[in-house]
Amino acid sequence: MKKIEDIEKLTTQDLLRIGADDTIPVPEDLSLTLPRKARRNWSIAAAAAVVIGLGGWALSRPSAAPQDTFEDPYLAYAAVEKALGKMSATVQNTAGKVARAETLIDDLTYWK
């Protein structure tokens, strides 16, 4: 039996090769269902994640009405440029993360 350290060192290609090997026997009594206690624990964890997510969303909402007090159109334009710059940076950051994820997914030839 392999040690955890050895398994963690395997590459994606190694894992795919091992998974595709039909000579490795799979026990007949291998149960794919979680025991009742494990399902309960996962349900509690999922509910806690939803509550924490909703709480974070509620706390992140602005409490005051947004200000709309630009008398100088140049200041208003500068504020719009600043807001769009922040949004652009966020979109570029997200696009970079998606590109890295796509690269990892492409490495998994199993999904093609």
pLDDT in tens, 39-63: 778 888 889 899 988 888 877 776 6
pLDDT at 110: 55
| Structural domain for 111, as ranges | 70-112
Instruction: Report if residue 6 sits inside a domain.
Output: no
pTM of the model: 0.34
Instruction: Report if residue 27 sits inside a domain.
Output: no
Residue 111 near residue 16, CB atoms below 8 Å: no
Structural domains in the chain (count) = 1
Q: Given a cut of 80, is residue 66 above it in pLDDT? A: no
Instruction: Report if residue 30 sits inside a domain.
Output: no
Instruction: Report if residue 44 sits inside a domain.
Output: no
Of 88, 65, 87, 84, residue with least CA distance to 76: 84
